[in-house]
Amino acid sequence: MNIAIVGTGYVGLPTGVCFAELGHNVTCIDKEVSKIESLKDGKITLFEDGLEELFHKNLSANRIGFTTSMKDGIQNADIIIIAVGTPPHPMTKEADMKYIHSAAIEIAEYLNNYAVIAVKSTVPVGTCDDVEMLIKNKNPQADFDVVSLPEFLREGFAVHDFFNPDRIIAGTDSIKAQNTIKELYKSFNGKAKILFVKRRSSETIKYASNAFLSIKIHYINEMADFCEKTGADIHEIAQGMGLDSRIGDKFLNPGPGYGGSCFPKDTYAMAHMACANEVRLTLIEAAIEGNIARKKEMAKRIAQCVKHIEKPKIAILGLAFKGGTDDCRESPAIEIIEELLKDDTYDIAAYDPKAIDNAKLLLGDRISYATNECDTTKNADILAILTDWDEFKNYDFSKIKKLMRGNKILDLRNILDGKKIKELGFEYKGIGI
Ligand code: NAD
């Protein structure tokens, strides 16, 4: 099939590369000229495990191309996938539809054969109706169906999740469009179930899922607070709870709060949509409030550990919103550092395996950036672990102990073995233990 993807970011690029790997002809379109130039030159623009290899393979095989021209990009496309951003509005925090609307109007201008327009971006309920109306108004002759096709990939596992989806949800009543979607995923040979639902249900499933996961994280974080006061151990609580198949063992890891480009914005958007429809979603409202407070609380914990030291040096491991990605959008690490920077007493040095360039765009030169764990921790009074990168577990902490001035480790992701770390002479504190 000929597939056009509008928006070549964390969703659009892995999706395009993976559809090309399935043998489809893919054209990725983006407004950002430098991004498209890099991709055309064979330089990948974001980090995702396993993506770079597939990108080069399919670029060499001419199964994937890149353009800034909507006209060229959507010509002869059987399906046009919209994967542009839907960021929170700076004032109201509701999902900002400006990129979706302008993409729809641009697509309408060049639509010259039947195509399915699949909205993969996370969009408020009713957006696909708006997209349909915008296209019809701009181009009354256009022959198309608008389908809601929400994306469920996890950053850091985008390639894995593409080839091993738990579910494919498609919102459309059109049989013609349903057949196009079936054709698109034909090579999965029934491995992935496609659930066809009403368009408005499909749009809501995405938000309802992300909001539920955010609440689960908020819940386990509150349980961790409870454990800290009562002498219970959150690992044992999570393990015990997770054995109940009704609860499940995923998303029961306490930490510094949820972040990333999805959960914060999608919970806000869901709460806003509910409000507009005169429904109260009190659990989501509580998760939003709790999550904001949690990051401030985590910064306080770090500050508390060094409060008697003059101009303390804080070493940070991790800047991305989670391990396995270079994405720093709404990263708890960035927000915690921002909170610490409100007090100019701290000298902060940070290291992240992939996210330093993106972190620099947010934090600039207000902190220093190291090239490895040793440079970060040298002369530090405290080490705070803010992202769950696997490689952090394997560092030589006896060497780090010698490099540091102090002996405190605050592990906000519970990734280290506290017992072993304490045996090395560290004062170790995790979350909920
Ligand atoms: P992103 O910011 O990484 O990428 C969006 C891209 O769209 C940008 O490169 C931008 O330049 C481009 N763009 C904007 N308007 C355009 C236009 N008119 N024509 C061509 N390109 C245009 O965003 P993302 O993280 O890929 O997210 C995209 C959507 O997918 C969002 O709605 C998000 O909520 C949803 N989503 C994201 C994830 C994730 O893990 N990142 C997972 C599931 C769903």
Do 2-197 and 207-288 fold alike per CATH? no
Query: Residues 228, 230, 232, 237: is their CA dihedral positive or negative?
Result: negative
Q: What is the pLDDT of residue 305?
A: 97
Is residue 203 lining ligand 1, measured as CB closer than 6 Å? no
For residue 278, the model assigns a pLDDT of 98
d(CA 19, CA 304): 50
Nearest CA to ligand 1 atom 3: 9
**Res 46: pLDDT:** 97
Q: How far is the CA of 103 from the centre of ligand 1 (A)?
A: 11
Instruction: Identify the pLDDT of residue 207.
Output: 98
- Which residue from 207, 215, 183 is spatially nearest to 86, judged by alpha carbons? 207
CATH number of 207-288: 1.10.1040.10
Instruction: Output the CA 31–ligand 1 centroid distance in Å.
Output: 11
Is the CB of 98 inside a 6 Å radius of any atom of ligand 1? no
pTM: 0.96
Which of helix, strand or coil describes residue 358?
helix
Ligand 1 mean position, distance from CA 99 (Å): 9
Mutate to test the pocket of ligand 1, among 30, 67, 96, 128 (most ligand atoms within 8 A of CB): 30
CA 37 to chain centre: 24
**Per-domain boundaries in the chain:** 2-197, 207-288, 295-429
Query: How far is it, in rounded angstroms, from Cα 131 to Cα 151?
Result: 18
Structure tokens belonging to residue 318: 């991790």
Please give the number of the atom of ligand 1 that sits closest to the Cα of 99. 15
Could you tell me the two tokens for 376? Answer: 């970060």
Q: Identify whether the C-beta of residue 291 lies closer than 8 Å to the C-beta of residue 216.
A: no
CATH architecture for the domain at 2-197: 3-Layer(aba) Sandwich (3.40)
Tell me the average confidence (pLDDT) per consecutive run of 10 residues in the chain, 433 residues long. 98 98 98 98 97 98 98 97 96 95 98 97 98 98 98 97 96 98 91 93 98 98 98 98 97 97 97 96 98 98 96 98 97 98 96 98 98 98 98 98 98 98 98 97
Catalytic one among 227, 262, 305, 328? 262
CATH superfamily of 295-429: NAD(P)-binding Rossmann-like Domain (3.40.50.720)
Tell me the CA–centroid distance for residue 138 and ligand 1, in Å: 23
Active site residue 262: yes
Find out whether the beta carbon of 259 lies less than 6 Å from any atom of ligand 1.
no
Q: Look at ligand 1, atom 10, and give the residue with the nearest C-alpha.
A: 7
Answer whether 262 contacts ligand 1 (Cβ < 6 A): yes
> Which residue minimizes the CA distance to atom 37 of ligand 1?
11
| Cα 169 to middle of ligand 1, angstroms | 19
Please give the helix or strand (H or E) that residue 368 lies within, else none.
Answer: strand 368-369
Distance 86 CA to ligand 1 centre (A): 7
Q: Whose CA is nearest to atom 4 of ligand 1?
A: 9
Q: Return the exposure string of 177-212: e unless at least 16 CB atoms fall within 10 Å of the residue's CB, then b.
A: bbebbeebbeebeeeeebebbebbebbbbbbebbbe
Strand 79-82 to strand 64-67: parallel, antiparallel, or no bridges (unpaired)? unpaired
Ligand 1 pocket, residue 7 CB under 6 Å = yes
